[in-house]
Structure 1
Amino acid sequence: MAKTNRFGSQKFAIIEEGRFNRKQNTREEKKVKEDLPKILFSFKDFDVSQIPPGQSYIEWQEEKILAAMVQKFEYVCELNIIEAQQQKMLKIYGEFPKKSDFAVPKHISPDVNWAVIMDIKGQKGRVAGHLIGNVFYVVFLDKDHRFYITEKKNT
């Protein structure tokens, strides 16, 4: 049964009786946060032409760094890009660093987002590469921190 509203019979539309009563058990849960995709790794862009300053997988195996890298990747794969940055495991540079012992490989587009996975078996160890979406493409193994050269502090 319909009734007129309190402003008069024709000022607003007629309100149906019970229109604003909530039906029981019809509530849909609202998603608070969409899950961002986890980081994935690809080795298709690995560049062996710049060894040195970079290193090969064999060199990292001989120096017992390769297993540390795989363990770090295992942990990073549980995170999305934002979480990895917050935990200081991933640093995104954007452009290729101006001060670097490496050069952009010819097979990689110059406009990719360059980044590093940090602290591979110590503070210096890095895996340098680029990001497309949530995929980190490994390009260089850098145990000596030569990808992005910075001035030494407090020396």
Structure 2
Amino acid sequence: MNQIDLGEDPLALDRQVCFALSVASRNVISVYRPLLAPLGLTHPQYLVMLALWEQSPRSVKDLCGALHADPATLSPLLKRLESIGYLERRRSTEDERLLAVELTGKGRELRAEAEKIPYRVVELLGMEVVELEQLHGALSKVIAATRRALDAG
């Protein structure tokens, strides 16, 4: 096995992956916040809507998988989105244990406004699309690696 070299101070804050990810995540979500406010969405609700714009209806289990979220986290988001008229939740007729989530007409119509958001985010960040695609690729590798590490125990 190769020796891992973490430099002179392996605990230096500015060298920690967790710190960079935490700050970047907070800051990027802060960029989204004012863009989502006119749509009546929080960032976590926006992620749910993105998943439903890709495919609707979906089971809660499928949504949890797509969003890497647990049902306890997703349930209040779905309730809120249902209360503002963007989706409906109902028990599957084939299997009562499954809860199906489906966009309403209002939820489908919201997509046209939401399509402007990614363009605005790119403008606000002032980064090239290719840079953001590379970052997305690197973060996808980190997500896969952490899932493997967590699964390994």
Shorter-chain TM band:
under 0.3
The TM-score normalised by the length of structure 1 is 0.23
**TM-score, normalised relative to structure 2:** 0.23
Larger RCO of the pair (alpha carbons < 8 Å, separation 6+):
1
Larger helix share, 1 or 2: 2
